Amino acid sequence: MGSDGTQLHMFLFPFLAQGHIIPIVDMAKLFASRGVKITIVTTPLNAISISKSIHKAKSLAAPQIELLILEFPTAEAGLPDGCENADSITSLDLLPKFFKALSLLQAPLEQAVLEKRPHCLLADTFFPWTDDVAAKFGILRLVFHGTSFFSLSATEFMRIHEPYKHVSSDTEPFLIPHLPGEIKFTKMQLPEFIRENAKSEFSELLNRVKESESKCYGVVVNSFYELEADYADCYRNVLGKKAWHIGPLSLCNKGTEEKAQRGSESAIDEHECLKWLDSKKPNSVVYVCFGSMAKFNSAQLKEIANGLEASGQQFIWVVRKGKEEEDDGDWLPEGFEQRMEGKGLIIRGWAPQVLILDHPAVGGFVTHCGWNSTLEGVAAGVPMVTWPVSAEQFYNEKLVTQVLKSGVPVGVQKWVRTVGDFIKREAVEKAIRRIMEGEEGEEMRKRATELAEMARRAVAEDGSSYSDLDALIKELKSSAV
């Protein structure tokens, strides 16, 4: 109950991309399981997968989570029909239009807040204008970034100190100042708009995001304290942010159905997938997936196929192709599927990732280091091959390979939006062998298993994340008007 005796009511408003929607839906289930009334704010097309996911949450008293659907102004913003999610942004010129459409949601959101009167608005970092909404109605606003304490801290130190301005080349390593662990970075691993010091609508948005964050009540982080204690402390104590860690959020999904229904419609029947995995020995399959946004070209896909074959490992490989490759069958080496029959499973489209990662047969994960995937890999206790593409993924790679030491880099040098830097087959083979074979692989597996146990303890009753969620709810209740 709030301080006035009513049930605490929160609006959760995720950015329209699966990497943001999925953890917020998990968060909704978590809050609801602690008696908080939740309204998830989204748009018509995104509502389809969200409601499917909520319906499968058997553990829940259903009425605790409602969906509030705002019409998405595609036409008004000059977007093509049906373009309601970042994964349908196929060219860069659509990006400013997409953000324009998002900002047009301010008026309908205000109307909804006026009608429903939530106590708190937890909004994605990419909706900086929600600070005005919260201020207008005098409600609390929390921010969700969807990434680790490590990368939140690294990004902030990078922004404040700009160490990349003092190197003589794009490949010269420099230390990220003040970040614990002496972490080195290169200019090439930074987003192009930072590298090129270019002013764009996106860099303007990021400035607005910073300004807005300084006015929020606090930040909710999908992580757990034991995973990155130095960085959680740094974020709170050195950078002075008020933050709660309540993850790994994916661990709130219990049964097969619930795990299988996260995100988009799966391209494979979950039972068929489990049957395939059931026929394999423990830790004998490597799972390869690059999240919801990355789309490699045919040449890169071919290198991955050849690398996988040369590694001699069994695999599940999730393939999301770029536009020009969609109808082009020429991305697999000749005879690959015949040779790999029974040994490798290709999923063309969306995979039930957490279901796969949690299967005992899966013993390694080749990941693009999106934070959700990284943390799901940690929670599943698998060593990882890190293959960052863009966003803040290069920071997450450093956390896995240099701090947690539960993975090895495939060797990506450069941040390249969506299509990624080019990696050769030999590097793919070598990195996969390192996590799946030999003493080094065993060491990483041991470490990964320990981290997974810590993750489970963190979300169990009285664990660090469980307690931080409790503290957050208590604080919201006592501050709610």
Give contact residues for ligand UDP (rule: CB under 6 A). 18-19, 22, 262-263, 289, 291-293, 318, 350-351, 353-354, 370-373, 376
Closest of 437, 428, 424, 382 to residue 407, by C-alpha:
382
Contact between residue 122 and residue 216 where contact means Cβ atoms under 8 Å apart: no
Rounded least distance, CB 263 to ligand UDP, Å: 5
Q: Which is nearer to ligand UDP, 113 or 308 (CB)?
A: 308
Distance, in Å, from the CA atom of 470 to the CA atom of 476, rounded to the nearest integer, reads: 10
CA-to-CA distance for 204 and 322, rounded, in angstroms?
28
Gap between the Cα atoms of 388 and 370, Å rounded: 8
Question: Which tokens in the block code for residue 180?
Answer: 């614990």
User: In this complex, which beta carbon is closest to ligand UDP, that of residue 262 or of residue 434?
Assistant: 262
Pairing of strands 174-175, 218-221: unpaired
Cβ atoms 36, 472 nearer than 8 A: no
Q: How far is the CB of 238 from ligand UDP (least distance, A)?
A: 25
328: annotated active-site residue: no
- Minimum distance, C-beta of residue 367 to ligand UDP, in the bound complex (Å): 7
Cβ proximity to ligand UDP, 188 vs 357, nearer residue: 357
Cβ partners under 8 Å of residue 169, min gap 6? 187
CA 173 to CA 183: how far, in whole Å? 10
- Half-sphere CA count of 320, side-chain side, radius 13 A: 20
Q: Which is nearer to ligand UDP, 8 or 316 (CB)?
A: 316
In the complex, the smallest distance separating the C-beta of residue 379 from ligand UDP, rounded to whole angstroms, is 11
Task: Give the whole-angstrom CA distance, residue 22 versus residue 13.
Answer: 12
Residues 6+ apart with CB under 8 A from 268: 345, 347, 351, 352
Q: In the block, which residue shows the tokens 């770029």? A: 322
Question: From CA 329, how far away is CA 455, in angstroms rounded?
Answer: 41
Q: How far apart are CA 1 and CA 86, in angstroms?
A: 36
Q: SS3 for 312?
A: coil
DSSP one-letter code for 87 = G
Catalytic pick among 9, 20, 119, 245 = 20
**Cα gap 389→417, rounded to integer Å:** 7
Nearer to ligand UDP, 291 or 322 (CB): 291
170 is catalytic: no
Which residue, 314 or 372, has its beta carbon nearer to ligand UDP?
372
Q: Which of these is catalytic: 26, 119, 124, 358?
A: 124
CB of 372 to ligand UDP, least distance (A): 3
Give the residue with the Cβ less far from ligand UDP, 19 or 463: 19
**Closest distance between ligand UDP and the C-beta of residue 212, in Å?**
21
Q: Give the catalytic positions in this structure.
A: 20, 124
